[in-house]
Amino acid sequence: MVYRTKLPDMASLANAQGDARLYAPSTERNSVPIVKTIQRIAPKSGQALEIASGTGQHIVKLALSLPNLSWLPSEVDEVRLKSISAWITAECLPNIKPPLYLDATETGWAQNLPQFDFILLVNLLHLISWNETETLFNELPKVLKKNGSAFVYGPFMRSGKLTSAGDQNFHSSLIQTDPDIGYKNDLDILELFANSGLLHLQTVKMPANNLAFVLKK
């Protein structure tokens, strides 16, 4: 992945907590609806992978809410890897493994990984290119068990259109920073899922005009 250090503030805002932990206000805001939805659709037990875990806030909340799942966080950014480790240490959660350095936009990223019962991806696709998105989902089924499920969350265009002023402003700020990134079209994403061998079970409308796609292998 081309690691993009210059993103709009609204895309990457995270504050230090006095230790290695980072705190992202947007992550805190969306964690409740994300956790509630995942509690409904995730397996009750097994192995779970979070791709691009960010600050680590989501995974500690999920580990608390779904204690019979064993969670593996992953990240490509060293600062955020340290933040994830610090959150795990602070919460003393036995069902989260140490974070894995993983660039899920590189061809072959699924090699040498076990298969998982559940895979989680939150707020990444608008920050990477379409080619990187294709690579991610071409590889993802290789690490998802048969009948395993996945949850993909973020902001998306609807039928090629940005449906709110906030989305228009955010997408514009992203493509001004890097014309290769920005909101993906929901119809293109659904086609990519199908071409990758993933069954689209449900699209869930989430707060702040976000969407969550529930998938199954």
Please state, for a pLDDT cut of 90, what percent of the chain lies above it: 87
Q: What is the pLDDT of residue 88?
A: 95
Residues 6+ apart with CB under 8 A from 180: 129, 130, 131
Average pLDDT, the chain: 92
If you ran DSSP here, which 8-state letter would residue 161 be given?
B
Residues 6+ apart with CB under 8 A from 172: none
Assigned domain for 101 exists: yes
Express each pLDDT in 198-209 by its tens digit. Answer: 999 999 999 999
**Averaged pLDDT for residues 212-217:** 98
Assigned domain for 56 exists: yes
Q: What is the pLDDT of residue 26?
A: 80
Q: Is 66 exposed, middle or buried (0-12, 13-18, 19+ CB in 10 A)?
A: buried
Q: Is the pLDDT score of 3 beyond 50?
A: no
Domain that holds residue 96: 9-216
Assigned domain for 3 exists: no
Number of domains in the chain: 1
pTM: predicted TM-score of the whole model, two decimal places: 0.92
Q: What is the pLDDT of residue 127?
A: 95
d(CA 207, CA 34): 9
**Averaged pLDDT for residues 134-153:** 98
Q: Is 160 exposed, middle or buried (0-12, 13-18, 19+ CB in 10 A)?
A: exposed
Please state, for a pLDDT cut of 70, what percent of the chain lies above it: 92
Assigned domain for 1 exists: no
d(CA 134, CA 129): 9
Q: What is the pLDDT of residue 36?
A: 96
- Dihedral angle sign, alpha carbons of residues 10, 125, 147, 72: negative
Express each pLDDT in 44-97 by its tens digit. Answer: 999 999 999 999 999 999 999 999 999 999 999 999 999 999 999 999 999 999
Assigned domain for 171 exists: yes
Express each pLDDT in 167-194 by its tens digit. Answer: 999 999 999 999 999 999 999 999 999 9
Tokens at residue 87, please? 């959150």
- Dihedral angle sign, alpha carbons of residues 168, 170, 174, 177: positive
Q: Is the pLDDT score of 22 beyond 50?
A: yes
CATH number at residue 154: 3.40.50.150
Tokens at residue 185, please? 């079209």
Assigned domain for 172 exists: yes
CB 20 within 8 A of CB 86: yes
Assigned domain for 107 exists: yes
- Dihedral angle sign, alpha carbons of residues 134, 135, 139, 140: negative
Q: What is the pLDDT of residue 90?
A: 92
Assigned domain for 34 exists: yes
